[in-house]
Amino acid sequence: PPLPPCRPSDLEALGWVSQEVRRLETIVKQFLEFSRPPDTRLAWVPASELIASSTPLVEPLLNEKAITLKRELAADIPRLFIDREQMIQVTVNLLRNAAQSLLTGGQISVSVAKENDASGRAEAVLRVGDNGPGIPADLQVKVFEPFFTTKEDGTGLGVSIVASIVMRHGGRVEVESRAEGGTVIAVHLPLPQDGKPT
pLDDT, one tens digit per residue, over 154-168 is 444 457 788 888 988
Q: How does DSSP assign the chain, residue by residue? A: -PPPPPPHHHHHHHHHHHHHHHHHHHHHHHHHHHHSPPPP--EEE-HHHHHHHHGGGGHHHHHHTT-EEEEEE-TT---EEE-HHHHHHHHHHHHHHHHHH--TT-EEEEEEEEEE-TTS-EEEEEEEEE-SS---HHHHTTTTSTT--SSTT--S-HHHHHHHHHHHTT-EEEEE--TT-SEEEEEEEEPPBTTB--
Mean pLDDT to the nearest integer, 125-153: 69
Other beta carbons within 10 Å of 159: 23
pLDDT of 30 reads 53
pLDDT in tens, 65-113: 999 999 998 888 878 999 999 999 899 989 988 898 888 889 999 999 9
pLDDT of 155 reads 46
Residue 151 has pLDDT above 80, yes or no: no
pLDDT in tens, 18-39: 665 665 565 456 545 555 666 7
pLDDT of 188 reads 95
pLDDT of 108 reads 95
Would you say 166 and 50 are in contact if contact means Cβ atoms under 8 Å apart?
Answer: no
Residue 17 has pLDDT above 50, yes or no: yes
Mean pLDDT to the nearest integer, 43-48: 90
Residue 149 has pLDDT above 60, yes or no: no
Residue 171 has pLDDT above 90, yes or no: yes
Q: Which residue has the higher pLDDT, 94 or 180?
A: 94
Residue 62 has pLDDT above 90, yes or no: yes
Parallel, antiparallel or unpaired: strands 183-190 and 122-130: antiparallel
Residue 127's φ and ψ, nearest 5 degrees, are: -120, 135
pLDDT of 71 reads 92
pLDDT of 183 reads 86
Q: How does residue 1 score in pLDDT terms, banded at 50, 70 and 90?
A: low
What is the pTM for the complete model shown?
0.73
Would you say 105 and 91 are in contact if contact means Cβ atoms under 8 Å apart?
Answer: no
pLDDT of 100 reads 86
